[in-house]
Structure 1
């Protein structure tokens, strides 16, 4: 399994800094089609087939998938809010 941490608190655009907050931390498993969402810290969610997992809240996002390119296993469904 490959663990990918994605700190999503800040996003930097071309000439100015834009502060964004993650409002939805979810992924869709491309193997079984489950949509799983983690809503709180340490709210570790697994899809039905067990291939992908999501963890975290709106402060960070962690995805776990088998080795290889992540886009082969899941699609990110996270949503942002600009502050």
Structure 2
């Protein structure tokens, strides 16, 4: 599957050696290779994919916790505002 990517002029590009698709960050390239070309990767590339994937998973987990905290604060903020106003 090919996605349309746009990289600003003058920015460094990282191109997939398997399909030629460009990426703006090396991490995106590593994730792409692991997800799209997993059967063709060397052991070093598989190891790099697992490292980047774990890091991305941890970042997403932290993001979800932050969003949950914001939603809880909003909920109780509206609840207390409602109880004061009525």
TM-score (norm 2): 0.22
- Write 1 or 2 for the structure with the bigger share of helix: 2
- Write 1 or 2 for the structure with the bigger share of strand: 1
- Larger relative contact order (C-alpha < 8 A, sep ≥ 6)? 1
